[in-house]
């Protein structure tokens, strides 16, 4: 496969709004909360609230901090600490919830919500304030707080359906998906690189890891879409991409996911599809290189071997 060169990503946000992106007959929605002018200044235009004024600076309650714009879970209260900097500080994030982007000046690193791209603040390392030696400096105005009595839960799913660029492109837009990452799974080598996998000696498949809110979407919803955005009858290939790294596979995390996948495959087979999708227990997910993450959003391109086709 020939991989493209990264381009510039341009993000446009309109508030309030419901973003609807449609590919062929596939409709997926990401709904944003209405923001106040002050919230827009920080979250959309990367501003900063005044120090020692934020709502959650002194909050010591147990619970989860979520994105003000899209409600994605970002931080656990157990990772919050007093840094004296004037803004809420955390030394860890919920896995996959936060993205890091170097500022244009090359000095600081911005942190944004992985789900919607909303500005959170900046991240600093090497200060020695906690054992993790990391400080997420976050604007209170970018957050909401969900008390522990209203517990936020997340679940994971792993899908392989050809080039992981296209698979991620479609699945990340499902309402309820918190974050996505592309990487490798199902092989026999540790910490593989993209070149290792392309050399066809590792046994790994190109996989998308989905972190989702089970109260807003389900594994079955995600699996149904997975079967409709790639051709599950193609063995060890997808479109022009040939090799076992492009195989169709679901790496299930528990027997419930396996049963749902088996049910959907039976439905497709009853409809006449010769499904070759493999069902394999999930093992270690090796995250791919940064330039593969959110590829089409970064480059402005569109999938070349994935397209929506209604099958259910």
Instruction: Please give the positions annotated as active site.
Output: 137, 163
Closest CA to 218 of 245, 257, 274: 257
Alpha carbons 33 and 67: distance in angstroms, whole number? 10
From CA 171, how far away is CA 209, in angstroms rounded? 10
107: left (phi over 0), alpha (psi -120 to 50) or beta: alpha
> Which one, of 22, 59, 30, lies nearest residue 180 by Cα?
30
Q: What is the largest CA-CA distance in the chain?
A: 64
């Amino acid at each position: 496969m020939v991989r493209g060169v990264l381009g510039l990503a341009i993000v446009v946000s309109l508030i309030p709004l419901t973003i609807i992106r449609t590919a062929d007959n596939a409709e997926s929605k990401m709904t944003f909360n209405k923001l106040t002018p002050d919230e827009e200044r920080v979250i959309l235009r990367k501003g900063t609230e005044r120090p020692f004024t934020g709502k959650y600076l002194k909050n010591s309650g147990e619970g989860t901090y979520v994105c003000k714009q899209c409600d994605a879970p970002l931080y656990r209260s157990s990772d919050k600490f007093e840094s004296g900097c004037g803004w809420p500080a955390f030394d860890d994030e919920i896995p996959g919830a936060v993205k890091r982007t170097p500022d244009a000046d090359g000095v600081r690193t911005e942190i944004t919500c992985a789900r919607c791209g909303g500005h959170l603040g900046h991240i600093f390392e090497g200060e020695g304030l906690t054992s993790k030696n990391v400080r997420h400096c976050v604007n209170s105005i970018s957050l909401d707080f969900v008390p522990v009595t209203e517990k936020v839960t997340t679940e994971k799913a792993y899908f392989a359906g050809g080039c992981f660029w296209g698979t991620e492109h479609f699945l990340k837009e499902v309402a309820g998906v918190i974050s996505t990452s592309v990487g490798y799974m199902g092989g026999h080598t540790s910490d593989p690189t993209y070149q290792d996998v392309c050399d066809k000696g590792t046994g790994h498949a190109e996989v998308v890891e989905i972190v989702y809110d089970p109260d807003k979407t389900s594994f079955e919803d995600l699996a149904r879409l997975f079967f409709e955005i790639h051709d599950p009858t193609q063995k060890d290939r997808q479109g022009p991409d040939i090799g076992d790294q492009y195989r169709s596979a679901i790496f299930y995390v528990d027997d419930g996911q396996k049963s749902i996948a088996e049910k959907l495959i039976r439905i497709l087979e009853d409809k006449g599809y010769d499904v070759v999708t493999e069902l394999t227990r999930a093992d270690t997910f090796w995250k791919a290189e940064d330039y593969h993450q959110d590829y089409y959003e970064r480059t402005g391109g569109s999938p070349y071997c994935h397209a929506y086709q209604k099958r259910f």
